[in-house]
Structure 1
Amino acid sequence: MQRRTTLAALTAAALLAAGAAHAQQTTLRVFSGGQNQRPDLMRQLFDKYQAANPGVKIEIETGGATSELQRQYLSTVLNAKDSAIDVFMIDVVNPAQYFSSGWVEPLNAYVGEPASVMAPYLPVYASANVVDGKIAALPAFADSMFMYYRKDLLAKHGIAEPKTWDELAAASKKIMAAEGNPALQGLSIQGAPIEGAVCTFLLPYWSQGKEFNDAAGKMTLDKVAAAKGLQGWLGLVDQGVMKKNIAEVKTGDTVNEFKAGQVVFAINWGFAWDRFQGDKDSTVQGKVGVMPLPAVAGGKSATCIGGWQWAVSAFSKSKAEAAKLVRYMSSPDSAKFLAVQGSLMPVYPQTYTDADVVKAVPWFKDAAAVVVAGKSRPKSERYGEVSDVIRTTTSAVLARTKTPAEGVDEIENRLRRVMR
């Protein structure tokens, strides 16, 4: 009888302990973006975190092939003050917008003050993630637009890396004529009304030495320079360097066409390198070079900064645990893992020269200078509106439903009150 009593007591104690352990477990649901944000690698980091923190279970949610689709989804969830998502990934242009909307939990109380916490990061990301003295998010990984090119074709035809858009046009036409491949394009850019088209508008504008806004966010649009930039893209279409339906081209289209050997020069984000070199169906492995973007004659090369950030939902019921996870996902160790395993660009300057990183991704040793010198898209609490206007108007101009002058007038008129 005594043995049965002891066994029953032990069983009850075990059940109580199991129930207590279960009750103490925190489940965090994380929105980790789409394929380009490499949720597969994020899952591996989450698994490591869970192993070190057995009281935390992390569920992952993915979706949205583009930045704007992800923004639309998150806007719906967060407008409804839904607590289902604890942590989410956002574009580098979004912290100010999400903070002003009351959607993100300021992280100062969990991670420390901005001056010390943000100092180790690349400056552009430290700046983008601090709003009104509050840490709105922590950087996940960096990104930038690069000019990829077929180094084998340039070498074969004795062509140096072009420094201006005119030189790129001449190089493209020479190679296309010599190769005799009707499917070969000179240059691929993103002309569809997606986030990449904001950069398509800004790249030739910036390379004329112009700024779209001042430090306070007020629009400083030079209409003549903006129209010249858009006309430059149309000129490349007319010369046969870019295809006629460039207004339909998305980020993935450029990647796939370049992989298939159908493009000489391609503007795309940093993730594309891994696709060109690592995808089994890539026909350009070992044939890809990276160079600074060309400039308008007399101007200076400029590129568009991208990148992704981890934010804690203002409506999460587990904010402290969520903040700990975000801190881990934004750590130097996580940055190194993402660089080595997925060629995702680090947010820490020293990671670019880390021996393991340089061995895995040799071109990163030169990439840091491009990222540091890159420019940010307009920082605005109403960035969604800014993006919508610029990308849809740029696509319309490339589709020739508006002239460059008409497009620039529309951008100015629609954003004058938004960016003031």
Structure 2
Amino acid sequence: MSPLNRRTLAALACTAVALWAAPTPADAQATTATKLRVFSGGQNQRPDLVRKLLDQYQARNPGVTVEIETGGATSELQRQYLSTVLNAKDSAIDIYMIDIVNPAQYFGAGWLEPLDAYVGPAAEVFKPYLPVYAQSNVVDGKVAALPAFADAMFLYYRKDLLEKHKLPEPKTWDELAATARKVQAAEAAAGNANLQGLSLQGAPIEGAVCTFLLPYWGQGKEFNDAAGKLTLDKPAAVKGLSTWLGMVDQGVVKKNVAEVRTPDTVNEFKAGQVLFAINWGFAWDRFKDDADSQVKGKVGVLPLPAMAGGRSATCVGGWQWAVSAFSKHKAEAAKLVKHLASPESSKMLAVEGSLLPTYQRIYTDADVVRQAPWFNDAAAVVVAGKSRPMSRDYGQVSDILRTTTSAVLARTKTPTEGVDEIENRLRRLMR
């Protein structure tokens, strides 16, 4: 073989190797593909709808695939799981859905990626959202999380019974107690002796934190300052707890209130046994849609009453999207979180799942109101919403508030003893 032919064959061989080694368009896409994993909570957080949002994102971003992980029926169980995973610095999950009470705790532990570099400064980011998020999702001036969907405690009431007895909607807790006594007496005279005036949660669960805070905030008092330091007004706290006990003594609230949990309130109101009920937003669909509901078409929603001379305030719940500090794909994860927290996503969750929007303007969107007319009333409630105490030790703060509140309602502690205990124990945690 001539030298020329040998050189030609060698060149052809090199070309063949180069062609074989060169990535095809599909291979190139595969090398730049990103796989993300999202923890989306339990069934109450509607992972089916989250999956739809993730599918939308994948369709618009072909190089990204997103897996979903679920777990934990309650926020307490989810908090236990996430604390274990994040404390282990596990990089398997890139994005977490977390309770509104958790950003300060998780960010303070170094578990969450600050999002400012990806979404902009906090002062601008939270302008379109409900006011509460500028407090709950900003830690040390940094964006710790973006809102997924909202929740709040509402005052549900029997519209039919107030209309029947020609009584106005109460604006204060004193008015509510007086209205309840009148309706209870009239209904008892007509043979309905088992009607409760007000149902609220007194068992040592997360809802009892709000049971403590509602009449306290309703006096215009703040529990902590912007830095999370305790600002407890002890006389106001004693007055708030005494208000509940006064309603027990009047027969408005049942005597075993310290045993009442969230589902108990839902089931008793749904059965037509309650005039007023404090509960979260999910309860509306239970009253409206459940086959065994005795109150379909009879339910209204009101802002939480104020204390005399105070102002209405409610406990905001709901869920946030946060990027793990241990993710290997932080920039792409943050981009997905922007999509999940967008007005488009908030509207979809409202229309398809009746999940409360995180943007005030969406409450009056025509498509949303058509699907969930009660959002018109809900808007005024959530705008006045407040976040539970901001603390890097929120688990301990919650435990102290709910167990002490339950003990006071069970009358194993006086309101003064309970508030003294709360102050003594929280002063060390919320400095």
**Deviation at residue 351 of structure 1 after TM alignment:** 1.2
Task: State the TM-score, normalized to the length of structure 1.
Answer: 0.90
- 1:122 is matched with which residue? 130
- State how 1:260-339 maps to structure 2 within 5 Å: 260-339=271-350
Distance 2:77 2:363 in 1: 30
Contact 2:135/2:226 (8 A) holds in 1: no
- 2:426 is matched with which residue? 415
- State how 1:359-374 maps to structure 2 within 5 Å: 359-374=370-385
Q: 1:104 aligns with which of 92, 97, 112?
A: 112
Instruction: Please give the per-residue CA displacement for 1:201-242, whole angstroms capped at 9, x wherever unaligned.
Output: 011112222222233332222222211211221222222222
Contact 1:328/1:334 (8 A) holds in 2: yes
Contact 1:31/1:60 (8 A) holds in 2: yes
**Deviation at residue 23 of structure 1 after TM alignment:** 5.6
Q: What is the one-letter code of the residue matched to 2:73? A: A
Distance 1:302 1:246 in 2: 22
Q: What is the one-letter code of the residue matched to 2:417? A: E
Secondary structure of 1:82's match? coil
Structure 1 position 139 matched with structure 2 position 147: yes
Secondary structure of 2:401's match? helix
Q: 1:74 aligns with which of 79, 82, 95?
A: 82
**Deviation at residue 182 of structure 1 after TM alignment:** 4.7
Secondary structure of 2:132's match? helix
Structure 1 segments unaligned to the other structure (5+ residues): 1-8
The verdict on how the C-alpha distance between 1:282 and 1:17 changes in structure 2, with shifts beyond 3 A counting, is: farther
Structure 1 position 174 matched with structure 2 position 182: yes
**Deviation at residue 162 of structure 1 after TM alignment:** 1.6
- State how 1:8-407 maps to structure 2 within 5 Å: 24-179=32-187, 180-407=191-418
Secondary structure of 1:304's match? strand
Distance 1:292 1:333 in 2: 27
Distance 2:73 2:245 in 1: 27
**Deviation at residue 18 of structure 1 after TM alignment:** 6.4
Q: What is the one-letter code of the residue matched to 2:279? A: N
Contact 2:302/2:377 (8 A) holds in 1: no
Q: What is the one-letter code of the residue matched to 2:414? A: T
Distance 1:84 1:254 in 2: 38
Cα RMSD, aligned residues only: 2.4
**Deviation at residue 19 of structure 1 after TM alignment:** 6.6
% identical aligned pairs: 77
Q: What is the one-letter code of the residue matched to 2:93? A: I
Q: What is the one-letter code of the residue matched to 1:190? A: Q
**Deviation at residue 24 of structure 1 after TM alignment:** 4.8
Contact 1:114/1:130 (8 A) holds in 2: yes
Q: What is the one-letter code of the residue matched to 1:117? A: V
Instruction: Please give the per-residue CA displacement for 1:234-260, whole angstroms capped at 9, x wherever unaligned.
Output: 222222222222222222222222222
Contact 1:236/1:242 (8 A) holds in 2: yes
Q: What is the one-letter code of the residue matched to 2:37? A: R
**Deviation at residue 103 of structure 1 after TM alignment:** 0.6
The verdict on how the C-alpha distance between 1:367 and 1:109 changes in structure 2, with shifts beyond 3 A counting, is: same
The verdict on how the C-alpha distance between 1:305 and 1:276 changes in structure 2, with shifts beyond 3 A counting, is: same
Instruction: Please give the per-residue CA displacement for 1:143-179, whole angstroms capped at 9, x wherever unaligned.
Output: 2211010101111122211222232223223333333
Q: What is the one-letter code of the residue matched to 2:255? A: K
Contact 2:135/2:387 (8 A) holds in 1: no
Secondary structure of 1:417's match? helix
**Deviation at residue 365 of structure 1 after TM alignment:** 2.7
Contact 2:312/2:384 (8 A) holds in 1: no
Task: State the TM-score, normalized to the length of structure 2.
Answer: 0.88
The verdict on how the C-alpha distance between 1:272 and 1:319 changes in structure 2, with shifts beyond 3 A counting, is: same
Secondary structure of 2:54's match? helix
Distance 1:237 1:116 in 2: 46
The verdict on how the C-alpha distance between 1:181 and 1:17 changes in structure 2, with shifts beyond 3 A counting, is: farther
Aligned length: 410
Structure 2 segments unaligned to the other structure (5+ residues): 1-16
Secondary structure of 1:308's match? strand
Contact 2:156/2:276 (8 A) holds in 1: yes
Contact 1:92/1:307 (8 A) holds in 2: yes
